[in-house]
């Protein structure tokens, strides 16, 4: 597999900090930082805000704060996201169930679709009408995978 562009969701960053602590896996964090610095690993800025709401002192939050350029302003995606929300609604996704816990999901998918990036999240599929990343990616015909995919794509070993 070849490395490409990735758009990462809050869930993957939370799990990164939880299961791959910086003190034990510093080279993983450094390599992800290299991708972020080269604009190959990105996220809408709302991902950072979601992370900051619930992960005070977390490795993922600390790492994100040292790579602010990876976050793009959601304001640049307003019209694109509006069109995507209409598509989701037509495909039966209940967009009225988007709340503070999953508000970044639509923006992550919109950014990834606009730039043909692979979506990285650790969300599971909840149901056919649920506005969670796996279902949104399916509707948008985008590829979705877990953090391990970045490691495999880039042929990293530790």
**Crossing angle for the helix pair 45-54 and 10-19, to the nearest 10 degrees:** 50
Q: Which residue has the higher pLDDT, 54 or 55?
A: 54
Parallel, antiparallel or unpaired: strands 118-120 and 144-145: parallel
- Predicted local confidence at residue 1, as pLDDT: 42
Going from N- to C-terminal start, the domains of the chain cover 6-153
Query: Is the predicted pLDDT of residue 97 greater than 90, yes or no?
Result: no
CA distance 71 to 109: 14
Identify the three-state secondary structure at position 86.
helix
- Predicted local confidence at residue 57, as pLDDT: 62
CA distance 129 to 111: 21
- Predicted local confidence at residue 123, as pLDDT: 84
Report how far Cα 75 is from the mean position of its chain's Cα atoms. Answer: 17
Arithmetic mean of pLDDT, 77-94:
68
Q: Which two tokens stand for residue 45?
A: 């800025």
Give me the chain's average pLDDT, please.
Answer: 84
- The 10s digit of each residue's pLDDT in 107-158 is 899 889 888 899 999 987 766 666 678 888 888 888 999 999 999 999 999 8
Query: Is the predicted pLDDT of residue 102 greater than 80, yes or no?
Result: no
Reported pTM: 0.85
Q: Which residue has the higher pLDDT, 34 or 93?
A: 34
Q: Which two tokens stand for residue 49?
A: 């805000």
Phi first, then psi: give them for residue 61, nearest 5 degrees: -65, -45
Burial classification of residue 59, based on how many CB atoms lie within 10 Å of its CB (0-12 exposed, 13-18 middle, 19 or more buried) = buried
Q: Which CATH architecture has domain 6-153?
A: 3-Layer(aba) Sandwich (3.40)
- Predicted local confidence at residue 77, as pLDDT: 74
For residues 135 and 109, the answer to whether their CB atoms sit within 8 Å is: no
């Amino acid at each position: 597999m070849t490395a490409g562009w990735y758009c990462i969701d809050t869930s993957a960053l939370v799990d990164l900090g939880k299961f791959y602590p910086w003190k034990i896996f510093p080279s993983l964090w450094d390599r992800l930082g290299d991708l972020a610095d080269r604009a190959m690993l990105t996220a809408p800025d709302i991902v950072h805000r979601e992370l900051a709401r619930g992960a005070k002192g977390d490795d993922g939050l600390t790492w994100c704060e040292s790579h602010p350029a990876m976050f793009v302003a959601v304001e640049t995606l307003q019209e694109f996201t509006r069109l995507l929300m209409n598509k989701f609604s037509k495909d039966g996704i209940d967009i009225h169930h988007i709340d503070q816990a999953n508000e970044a999901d639509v923006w992550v998918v919109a950014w990834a679709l606009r730039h043909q990036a692979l979506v990285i999240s650790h969300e599971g599929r909840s149901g056919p009408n649920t506005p969670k990343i796996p279902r949104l990616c399916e509707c948008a015909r985008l590829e979705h995978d877990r953090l391990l995919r970045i490691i495999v794509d880039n042929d990293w070993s530790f």
